[in-house]
Each structure stands twice: as structure tokens, then as C-alpha cells.
Structure 1
Amino acid sequence: MSGKFQGYLFLSLAMILVGSTVIASKIIAVGLAPFGATALRFAVAFPLFLILMWFTRTSWPKLGARDWLLLIAQAGAGSVGYTTLLIAGLSLTSATDAGVLIGTLPVVSAAIAILLLGERPDRRVLAAIALAAVGVLTIVFKPGDGGAHSPLGVALIFGAVVCEGLFILLNKRLKAEISPLALSTLMAGLGFVVALVPALVETPSTAQFDRSAIAAVLYYALIPTVAGFVLWYAGAARVTGTEASVFTALAPVSAVAFAFLLLGEPVGVHQLLGIGCVLAAVLGLTLPQIRAAQRAGRTFPTAKA
């Protein structure tokens, strides 16, 4: 088996695991409050990342006060904000809707860079943003089907995607070089601290402890968070950066497939149209860069697990 094929396999498995977090979050939403579930997720993942750092002899970065503030903001947005909003949104709408929406992350990140950093987009980026917007709107304005669809739920999940996009933006502002493993460890530790206080306030009045929900949190922490990190970076080490980015399109597809196969949710015309637009946007944003990236021999940038 060639190294590049192994890379494709590892990246595919990592993104399939990312898609499965939507199903886990749907189960969590039934039995646990969002902040409590988020704190538990990071309480489980953090020591495992510490063990990985020790095993791989990864060193801690030397950080200034500005970088620490940025990391705390990243943890609040990308770790706590994303997880809590996703869980809250899935208590109101379907996992199929969420699967379509999480696929907009690369395009949302590009839009945030345009709005907040003043980057000048080319026609390809604008077309991708427009396509992704159409995909989201097909979900927002589809006919209601009882409790399985809620515009508020869709808005909360899209807010989760925006939080993850802000994480990527904040990561670009860091001055210190932080390895992917150290960054993921810091995000798990800081995410636990940030989520803990609202979890303590929220849990006594709102949480309904449920074995299935707790099992889903443990799965979320152990498999997509930690194992997904290992798979992604093992794959990214074997291919170019833009080749790796194309595999992010598998996350929404796997989420929708899991929602259909495991939860029995129907997949309607609106969801199919939405995911088609989102996938076209993501692929249109990334595929034209592959030849140039291969010539330049780029490596995949530091990112969050």
C-alpha cells in the first residue's frame, strides 16, 4: 500500500468520524445539557492528549500574554461554542440538517476572512460562498415536518460553524509556533475550564442524566476527538495540504448517511439539494488549488483536531 493511498485512507476515516459527531451530539442533546456535556467531553479528552504529548515527546510552546488570550478566545469559540451550539441546535432540528450545515465550514471560514481581515476574494471564492449560502437556505426554508425541523435549531448549528470559523481565524493571529498536538491539548484543557462554570450553573436545573447520552459523550471524546486527531495528522503527513482539504467534504456526507442509517431520519429533496450545493462549493474552493499545491509541495497547516 503506497504512502499516498494510506494518507487518503486515514483522512477519509478521520472525516467520517467528524461526521459521526453529529449523531453523537443528537443523542447527547436528549439526555444532557450542552455545557455539562462539553465539560465532560474535554475532561475525558484532555488527559489522553497529555499522554500523547508525553509518548511523542511533544514540548509545550512558550507563549506570551497575547497568545494566551487568543488561545482562551479560541477555546471559547472553537471548543466550547461549537460543541454547545451544536448540541443545543440538535435538540431542535434533525441530524440531517446539521450534516449539511457543518459542510459549510471551509466556505464560512473564507467569508469570515473577507469580513474581518479585509481579504479580497476572487470570483471562485465568491461563487463558493454563494453556493454554500444557497445550500443553507434550502435547509432554512424547507417545509416544517413536526419537531424534526426548526429554523432556530438551524440557526444554532450555523452559529456553531461560525464559531469554528472564528477558531481558524484566531489561530492565524497567534505569534508562537504551536504544534498540532500541543494546540489540541491546550484546546481540550482550556475548553474544560471555560465550560466548567456554566456547566455547574446549568446542570442542577436542566440536565437529565442519561446513560446513552453519557456514552455518546465518551465516544465523542475518545473516538472523533482523540483518534480523529491521530488519523487526520497521520493522513495529512502523507499528502499535500490541498489534497487533505478536499477530504473535509466527506464530513457532511457521512453525517447525513449516519443520520439516515443509524437514526432513521428521512433524507428529503431539500437536504439533497443543500448538500449538493455545499459539496460543490467546497470542491470548487479547493480542487483548483491542487495542481499548484503539488508543484509548490505545500504541507498541511496547523489546525484543531
Structure 2
Amino acid sequence: MKNISGKIYLMLGFSLAGTSVVTGSILTEKLNGRLVTPISLGIMLLCLFPFYGVRSIRLAGCLKKRDLAVFTLQAGFGIVLFRLFLLTGVGLTSTVEAGILTGTTPAITSILAFLVLKETCNSRTVLGIACSVLGIVLIQKNPQNSAAFSMSHAVGNLLVLCAAASESTFNIISRKYREEGNDTELFSVPPMIQMYLVSLIAFFLSLIPGFYKQSVLSLSTIGWREWLALSWYGLVVTALAFIFFFQGVKRSGAYTTATFSGMIPLTSMLLSLFFLNEPIGLNQWAGGGFIIFGMLFIGRQS
């Protein structure tokens, strides 16, 4: 039951994280991507402060320096760098392609799990991850993407790949220190408190790139649609998705986490179709099917 619940938490967490691509595309139409992170985090921190703010600050004073360092790494890679790369890249490439390229996260996470965590993988794990990677390859072979890329388009794709690498690093950091729970206080920290502390650290880290040569006056030009997207980015993509992720990573191995991160490109692809009306070819549908099959194959191990 613990393994099954872990997979459900991971699926929900990564599905919500997949909405960040479409939400980011909406926000970067009128806002600089660097400004989105501190504003959305600020909204979330203010809304949840009456419930978790005081408890989180008190708990922070009881944590060891090593635990705070882990939170800082999680905030840096999982929120600040991931969003900085993604929001900058999505403004230079298409939303569908950005979502697709985030699908490299399972492959990168698996490589890091093998190299850093020294985790072994059986045939089911290899086949499940291979299906996810095959799905990503099929999605990228969309005939509508065969036109020559401009330099800015190529740079956008590279930045999204950097976002995927940041997400993978976050996954490995979370898993590594959860496994060392006996030596740290992290294992006993409630997910909501951990989410709040990580977001608070990320807020302060994002202030420098967020307001560097960026006027806050640009916020006066946005409407209710953008404010709603900012609230979603903070309360759902950050708070709720991270809670599900922290619950799932406690119950799952690194390879399972890697495979279920394939929900990010799949969710992004579907949302781009229904909300942004971006065309999706047969290869992309087939690739999405392989991603689902990969997750189900890994899930059979429970």
C-alpha cells in the first residue's frame, strides 16, 4: 500500500508541475520570466502564512545547518533555477516543444540515480524508463517541427533542457537526504512545513534575478488573467505539487520518481492542445502513450 500511495502522490505532483509550462507561457506574454517566480511565491507565502508561517520559522531555528543546506539546494534547483530556465526558454520556443523537452527529466534523473545514489535497476525499471524515453523521442518527431530552428528557438530549447536538468538534480537531492533521514531532522519535518520553508528560501533567492533591471511597475499592466495565473503558479504549482512530491518521494525509489516525472511533458502537451490550441501530431500522441505505459510498467513492481 505504501508503494502504491507513493506512486499516486508522484503522479499528482508531477501532473500539477506540468501545468507550469502553459501557465508560464501565459505569464511571459506580459511579464519578464525573472519576475514571475518572486511574485508567485510571494502570493503563496502570504496566503499560507496564517497556517504555516510561524510554525515554519520556529522549526527552522531547530534544524541543523546541514538540513537548512538541503532546503536551500532544493529551493535553488527545484524552484529558482527550474523556473528561471523554463520561463525564459518558453518565451523563445513553442509551448508544446517546451513541455516535450521537460520529458528528458526521467532520463537525466535515472542517470544521476545510478551515478550518485548507486541504485541498481532491474529489467522492469529499465523497460519502464526506456518507454518514457521512447515516448519523448516520438513526441519530438512531429512533422510540424521539421522547419529549421532560428538561433533564439534553439536557445529556448537549450534553456528548457537546463530546466529539466535542474528538476532532476532536485529529485536526486530530495531522495538522497530522505534516505539519510536517521542522520538528519528532515525525515520528521511535515510536508507542508518543508514546502513552506523551501518556498521561503526560494523567494529570497529569486529576488536578485527577479528585480534586476526589471521594473515592478510592469505589474500594473497585467489583468485578472495574469493575476490568476500567478496565484495558480504559487498556490498549486508550488505549494500543492511540492506537498504531493515530498509525500511521494518518501515512499518511492529514485527510478520510480524518474519515471513518473514523465507526467510533466504529457500534462503540458494536453494542456497546450486544449487551452492554447497548439497542434499535436500522431507521433506526439503515440509518445504520450509510451510515457503512460512506462509509468504503468514501473507501477507493476508494487
TM-score category, normalised to shorter length: 0.7 to 0.9
Given the two structures, how large is their TM-score scaled by the length of structure 2?
0.74
Q: Which residue of 2 aligns with 1:155?
A: 158
Aligned to 2:287: 274
Is 1:193 the counterpart of 2:204? The answer is: yes
Consecutive unaligned residues in structure 1, runs of 5 or more: 1-6, 291-305
Tell me if 1:135 matches 2:103.
Answer: no
Gap regions ≥5 residues in structure 2: 1-5, 178-183
1:223 and 1:281 mapped to 2: Cα distance? 26
Q: Which moved more, 1:209-218 or 1:36-45?
A: 209-218
C-alpha separation in 2, matches of 1:151 and 1:229? 30
Please list the CA deviations of residues 175-214 of structure 1 after superposition, one character each: whole Å capped at 9, or x if unmatched.
2222211111011101111110111214149x78543444
When the two structures are aligned, how many residues end up with a matched partner? Answer: 278
- The alpha carbon displacement at 1:34 in A equals 1.9
Q: How far apart, CA to CA, are the structure 2 residues paired with 1:122 and 1:16?
A: 26
Mapping of 1:266-305 within 5 angstroms? 266-284=279-297, 286-290=298-302
2:278 is equivalent to residue 265 of structure 1: yes
> Counterparts of 1:179 and 1:130 in 2: how far apart (Å)?
34
RMSD (CA atoms): 3.9
Q: 1:184 maps to what in 2? A: 195
Identity among equivalent positions (%) equals: 23
8 Å Cα contact 2:56-2:193 kept in structure 1: no
> Residues 29 and 139 (structure 1 numbering): CA distance in 2 closer, same or farther, change over 3 Å?
farther
SS in 2 for 1:63: coil
Alignment deviations for residues 202-252 of structure 1 (CA, whole Å, 9 cap, x no partner): 4149x785434444222211333335567x48x97xxx869x979766554
Alpha carbons 2:139, 2:285 under 8 Å: kept: no
Q: CA offsets per residue over residues 92-138 of structure 1, 9 Å max, x none? A: 22222333344554453222211223333333333344333333344
- Alpha-carbon distance change, 117 to 226 in structure 1, aligned in 2, over 3 angstroms: closer
| Superposed CA offset, 1:2-48 (max 9, x none) | xxxxx999987766543332211111122222221111111111233
Aligned pair 1:45/2:44, yes or no? yes
Alpha carbons 2:260, 2:295 under 8 Å: kept: no
With the length of structure 1 as denominator, give the TM-score of the two structures: 0.73
Q: Deviations over 1:51-85 (max 9, x none)?
A: 33269999725322222222212111001111122
Question: In structure 2, do the counterparts of structure 1 residues 13 and 162 end up closer, same or farther at CA, with 3 Å as the change threshold?
Answer: closer
Please say if residues 100 and 252 of structure 1, whose CA atoms lie closer than 8 Å, have aligned partners that are also in contact.
yes
Task: Give distance in 2, aligned partners of 1:247 and 1:133.
Answer: 12
Q: Counterpart of 2:206 in structure 1: which amino acid?
A: A
Q: Relative to structure 1, is the Cα distance of residues 12 and 119 closer, same or farther in structure 2, using a 3 angstrom cutoff?
A: closer
Q: Is the 8 A contact 2:105 2:164 kept in 1?
A: yes
Aligned counterparts of 1:89 and 1:128: Cα–Cα separation in 2: 28
1:162/1:229 Cα in 2 relative to 1: closer, same or farther (>3 Å)? closer
